[in-house]
Structure 1
Amino acid sequence: MKIEQIYTGCLAQGAYYIVSENEAAIVDPLREIQPYLDRLEKDGVTLKYIFETHFHADFVSGHVDLAKSTGASIVYGPTSETNFEVIVAKDEQIFNIGKIKIKVLHTPGHTLESCTYLVIDENGKNTAIFSGDTLFLGDVGRPDLAQKIGSITREDLAGMLYESLETKIKPLADEVVVYPAHGAGSACGKNMQKETVDTLGNQKKTNYALNQPNKESFIKEVLDGLTAPPKYFGMNVAMNKGGYESFETVLNKGKNPISVEDFEMVAQETNAVILDTRSAADFYKGFVPNAINIGLKGDFAPWVGSMLVDVKHPILLISDENTEEEVITRLSRVGFDNVIGYLKGSFEAWKNSGKEVDKVNRISAEDFENQYKDNSIVIDVRKESEYEAAHVNEAFSKPLSNISEWIYTINSEDKFFIHCAGGYRSMIAASILQSRGIRNFAEIEGGFNKIKETSIPKSNFVCQSKTL
C-alpha cells in the first residue's frame, strides 16, 4: 500500500493518492488532472474510485474530469445530491482497493454530507483517516460554510460536528495517521498547525477542539472568532455539485494572446477585469490604468476569489511572459474560468507602445517615518488578529477582505498611508483604490515588517470606536 499526499501550498490543500496492488484511489483532487493521470500511468494502475470528503467551497475539484478520463466512480458521503453520476455512500460502507479497504465514516458538521475515509490495511488494521474538513491539525472545519439548509443553524452544525468527532473519530486508535484536506493558511479553519500530517493521538493532546469538556463549550469555542467567509465559496460549491467546463477547454480559451492595439478595445467591449499578476515590486512602477494587481507569487487564488467575487466575469490577464498557463490554472482551481485572453508581450509591450501608464505612490518605511505626524491617517489592511497584536498608533484597522465595504468611507480629499505586513496585500488595495479614482495615498513598501524597525509609535491597544 502507498499513500501519497499531494499538497498545494497556494491553496493550503491536500489531495491524496492511494495505491494497492493494481488499483488506485484519489481523495479530493484538484481541478487540473494531468498530474494524477501521469502518476497512474507511471505506476501502471487503474483508478477505481475518486473519494470526495464533502462539497468543497474553497476550490473546484477535478472529480468530474477525472471520472470522464479514467472511468473511475466518484464517491460522496450520505445525503449528497449532484447533477452527475456518483456513488452516494452509506455510513460504514466499505470500498475495496487492491488488498486494502476504505471505510466511510459519516461525520456531518462542517457540512451535512461531510465524511471521513478510514483506511484499513492488508492485515485489517485501521491505519489512517482522510479527514477532509472534519478534522484539521490543530483545528476542526468551520460549521458556518455550508449552504443554508432549512432552519439548520451554524450552532446546529457545530453540535453535529462535536458528535461526529466524539463518536466516529476520537474512538480510533492513537496511532492512526490523520491526513486533512487543508493546512495553515486556509480560510476553512482558524487555528491550523503548519504541519500537514500527524497522528490522531497527538491531535487528541494538542487540538483545542478535541479537548472541550462538553458540547456547549465545543460549540462556543469553535464558533468564536470566525471571520466572514470569502464570497466566492458558494459559487465553488455550486460548481462542485453541478459540474463545470473541462479544464482543457478553460485553458485553451484563456491562452489567447491579444495585441496591445486590440487589448483596450476588448477590455471595453467585454467590461472585463484587467488582472495584473506581476509582483508588487514591478506593478507599482507602471501598469495599465484600472488594472487590479494580485501577484502570482503569493496567496494568489484565494485573494482573486475574495477580491473579484463573480467567477463568471470575464478576465483579461497581464502577467510575466510564459506564466499565462500557470495563472489560468490557478484561477480555474477557484472557479474563475472566464479568462478571455492575455496581453501579448506583457506590460513591456504596452509601455513601449506609448500607451498611458499609471503608477502607485510607493514609499519606504523610512520615508513614512519622515512624513508621519501624530494626526496622520494610517490604514492597516492586515487581518484584525494581526492588527491587535501590534499596529501603528491610532491606525485604522481595515482588512483587505472587507475593502468593498470600507472603500466608501474614504474621504477623497484626505491624504493617508496604507500598509499590510509586507506589501502584497497593500498593493492589491492600492490598485483597487486607484481603479475607483482614489489616489491621495502612499503605499508603504515592506509594510509593518519594516515599520517595526522605525521610531513610529506603535501599540496593541484597540480603540473600538475609531472610524474613518
Structure 2
Amino acid sequence: MNIEQIYTGCLAQGAYYITSNGEAAIIDPLRETQPYIERLEKEGVKLKYIFETHFHADFVSGHLDLAKKTDAAIVYGPTAQPEFESIIAEDGQIFELGNVKIKVLHTPGHTMESSCFLLMDENGKETALFSGDTLFLGDVGRPDLAQKAAHLTQEELAGLLYESLTKKILPLDDEITVYPAHGAGSACGKNMMKETVDSLGNQKKVNYALNQPNKQAFIEAVTDGLLPPPAYFGMNVAMNKKGYGSFDEVLNRGMIALSADDFEGMAENTGALILDTRSNADFAKGFIPQSVNIGLNGDFAPWVGAMIVDVKQPILLVTDAGQEEEAVTRLSRVGFDQVLGHLKGGFATWKNSGKETDTVKRITAGEFADRFETEKSVVVDVRKESEYAAEHVEDAYSKPLAYINDWINNVDPQQHFFLHCAGGYRSMIAASILQARGYRNFTEVEGGFAAIGQTKVPKTDFICQSKVLSTQNS
C-alpha cells in the first residue's frame, strides 16, 4: 500500500493518490489529469475509484475528465446529486482497493454531502482518514457555504458538523493519520495550520474546534469571524456538480498565440479581460492599458476567482515567455475556461509594435517615508483585516483587496493616496484595477509594509496575528 499527498500550494489543496496490489484510487483530483494518467501508466496500475469528499467550491475537480480517460468510477457520499454517472455511497459502505479497504463516513456540516474516507490497511487496521473539508489541521470546514442549497442557517450546519465530528471522527484511534483537503491559505477555513499531515490524536489536543465544551460553544466558535466567501465559489460548485468542458479543449484554446494586432482586435471585439500574469515589478514598468495584473508567482488562482468572479468571462493572457500553459492550467483549476488565447512573445511584442502602453506610479518605501506627512498623507492598506490589526501605518485606512468592488466607488478621484499591501503583490492587483476603472491619483509603495516597516514612518504597536485571530474568535 502506498499513500501520496499531492499538494498544490497556490490553491492550498491536497489531492491523494493511493495504490494497493495493482489498483489505485485518487481523492479530490486537480483539474488537469495528464500527470495522473502518466503516473498510472508508469506504475502499471489501474485507476479503480475517484473519491470526491464533496462538491468543491474553491476549485474545479478533475473527476469527469479522469473518469472518461480511465473508466474509473466516481464516488460521492450520501445525499450527493451530481448530474453525471457516479456511485452515491451509503454511510459506512466499504470499497475494496487491492488489499486495502476504504470506508465512507458521511459527515455533513460543511456541505450536506460532505464525507470522509477511512482507509484500512492489509490487516484491517484503520490507518488514515481523508477528511476533506470536514476536518482541517487546526480547524474545521466553514459551515456557511451550503446554506442556500441546504435551506439551513450556518448555525444549523455548524450543529450538524458538530454531530459529525463527535460521532464519526473523535471516536477513531489517535494514531490515525489525518489527510485534509486544504491547508493554510485556503478560504475554506479560518485557522488552519501550515502543516498538511498530522495524527488525529494531536488534532484532538490542538484543534480549537475539537476542544469546545459543548455543542453551542462549538457553533459559536466556528461561526465567529467568518469572512464572506469569495464570489466565484458558487460557480465552481455548479461546475463540479453539473459538469464542465474538457480540460484538453480549454488548454488548446488558451495556447493560441496571437499577434499584437490580432490580440488588440480580439480584445475589442469580444469584451475579453486582459489578464497580465507577470510580476508586479515588471507590470509597474509597462503594460497594455486596461490590463489587470495578477501575478502567476503568488496565490494566482484564488485571486483571479476573487477579483474576476464570473468564470464565463472571456480572458486574453499576457505572460512571461513559456508561462502560457501554466497560466491556462491554473485558471482552469478555478473554472475560468474562457481563455481565448495569449499575446505571442508577451508584453515585449506589444511594446515593440508601437502600441500604447501604461505604467503605475511606484515609489520605494524610502521615498514614501520622505514624502509621508502624518496629517496630510492618505494611506490605503489593502492587506487582510488581521494583518492590519496586527500593525499598520498610523491613520492608514484598511481597505482589503478582497472587498475592492465594495470600496472602489468611494474613492475620491481628487484625493491623492498611497497604496500598499504586505509585499507588493496585492497592491499591484489593486493598482491595476483602480487604473482600469479610471482612478489614477495614487502612488503604490514597492515592497509594501515589509519595506515600510524598516523606515521612520510611524506605525502602531505590533500585536501577534495569532492573538488577533484568537481575540476575533473569542
Q: TM-score, normalised by structure 1?
A: 0.98
CA–CA distance in 1 between the matches of 2:321 and 2:190?
Answer: 36
Query: Could you say what secondary structure the match of 2:119 adopts?
Result: strand
Would you say 1:449 and 2:421 are equivalent positions? no
The residue that corresponds to 1:409 in the other structure is 410
- Give the deviation of 1:147 after TM superposition: 5.3
CA–CA distance in 2 between the matches of 1:314 and 1:379?
Answer: 30
The residue that corresponds to 1:391 in the other structure is 392
- Give the deviation of 1:265 after TM superposition: 1.3
The residue that corresponds to 2:142 in the other structure is 142
The residue that corresponds to 2:52 in the other structure is 52
8 A contact 2:64–2:243 mirrored in 1:
yes
| AA of the residue aligned to 1:123 | N
Query: Could you say what secondary structure the match of 1:149 adopts?
Result: helix
For residues 305-349 of structure 1, what are the alpha-carbon distances to aligned partners after superposition, in whole Å with 9 as ceiling and x for unaligned?
Answer: 000000001000000011100000000000000000111111001
For residues 168-224 of structure 1, what are the alpha-carbon distances to aligned partners after superposition, in whole Å with 9 as ceiling and x for unaligned?
Answer: 000000000000000011111111001100000000001000000001110111011
% same residue: 69
Would you say 1:154 and 2:154 are equivalent positions? yes
The residue that corresponds to 2:296 in the other structure is 296
- Give the deviation of 1:149 after TM superposition: 2.8
The residue that corresponds to 1:215 in the other structure is 215
For residues 378-407 of structure 1, what are the alpha-carbon distances to aligned partners after superposition, in whole Å with 9 as ceiling and x for unaligned?
Answer: 000000000000001110000000000100
The residue that corresponds to 1:319 in the other structure is 319
- Give the deviation of 1:376 after TM superposition: 1.0
| AA of the residue aligned to 1:22 | G
| AA of the residue aligned to 2:423 | G
The residue that corresponds to 1:240 in the other structure is 240
CA–CA distance in 2 between the matches of 1:283 and 1:142?
Answer: 36
The residue that corresponds to 1:276 in the other structure is 276
For residues 72-92 of structure 1, what are the alpha-carbon distances to aligned partners after superposition, in whole Å with 9 as ceiling and x for unaligned?
Answer: 000001000011001000000
The residue that corresponds to 1:465 in the other structure is none
Would you say 1:10 and 2:10 are equivalent positions? yes
| AA of the residue aligned to 1:385 | S
CA–CA distance in 2 between the matches of 1:162 and 1:332?
Answer: 34
CA–CA distance in 1 between the matches of 2:266 and 2:149?
Answer: 41
CA–CA distance in 1 between the matches of 2:4 and 2:150?
Answer: 39
- Unaligned regions of 5+ residues in structure 2, if any? 463-467, 469-474
Q: What do you get for the CA RMSD once the two structures are aligned?
A: 1.0
8 A contact 1:147–1:234 mirrored in 2:
no
| AA of the residue aligned to 1:277 | T
CA–CA distance in 2 between the matches of 1:386 and 1:405?
Answer: 19
- Give the deviation of 1:415 after TM superposition: 0.5
- Give the deviation of 1:150 after TM superposition: 5.3
Alignment of 1:247-262 (within 5 A): 247-262=247-262
The residue that corresponds to 2:79 in the other structure is 79
CA–CA distance in 1 between the matches of 2:426 and 2:160?
Answer: 36
Query: Could you say what secondary structure the match of 1:158 adopts?
Result: helix
8 A contact 1:381–1:399 mirrored in 2:
yes
The residue that corresponds to 2:171 in the other structure is 171
For residues 19-45 of structure 1, what are the alpha-carbon distances to aligned partners after superposition, in whole Å with 9 as ceiling and x for unaligned?
Answer: 010111000000000111111111111
The residue that corresponds to 1:64 in the other structure is 64
CA–CA distance in 1 between the matches of 2:261 and 2:22?
Answer: 54
Cα 1:150–1:302, aligned 2, differ >3 Å: closer, same or farther?
A: closer
| AA of the residue aligned to 2:334 | V
- Give the deviation of 1:459 after TM superposition: 1.3
| AA of the residue aligned to 2:347 | F
Q: TM-score, normalised by structure 2?
A: 0.96
CA–CA distance in 2 between the matches of 1:264 and 1:7?
Answer: 37
Aligned length: 462
CA–CA distance in 2 between the matches of 1:293 and 1:87?
Answer: 42
For residues 337-386 of structure 1, what are the alpha-carbon distances to aligned partners after superposition, in whole Å with 9 as ceiling and x for unaligned?
Answer: 00001111110011111111100001000010011112211000000000
- Unaligned regions of 5+ residues in structure 1, if any? 463-468
- Give the deviation of 1:151 after TM superposition: 3.4
| AA of the residue aligned to 1:419 | H
Alignment of 1:308-387 (within 5 A): 308-374=308-374, 375-387=376-388
CA–CA distance in 2 between the matches of 1:22 and 1:428?
Answer: 47
The residue that corresponds to 1:197 in the other structure is 197
8 A contact 1:387–1:460 mirrored in 2:
no
- Give the deviation of 1:460 after TM superposition: 5.2
Range with greater deviation from structure 2 (245-254 or 452-461): 452-461
| AA of the residue aligned to 1:194 | K
- Give the deviation of 1:166 after TM superposition: 0.3
Query: Could you say what secondary structure the match of 2:443 adopts?
Result: strand
- Structure 1 segments of 4+ aligned residues over 4 angstroms from their partners: none
CA–CA distance in 1 between the matches of 2:350 and 2:388?
Answer: 38
For residues 62-121 of structure 1, what are the alpha-carbon distances to aligned partners after superposition, in whole Å with 9 as ceiling and x for unaligned?
Answer: 000000000000000100001100100000000000111000000000000000000011
CA–CA distance in 2 between the matches of 1:460 and 1:126?
Answer: 49
- Give the deviation of 1:55 after TM superposition: 0.3
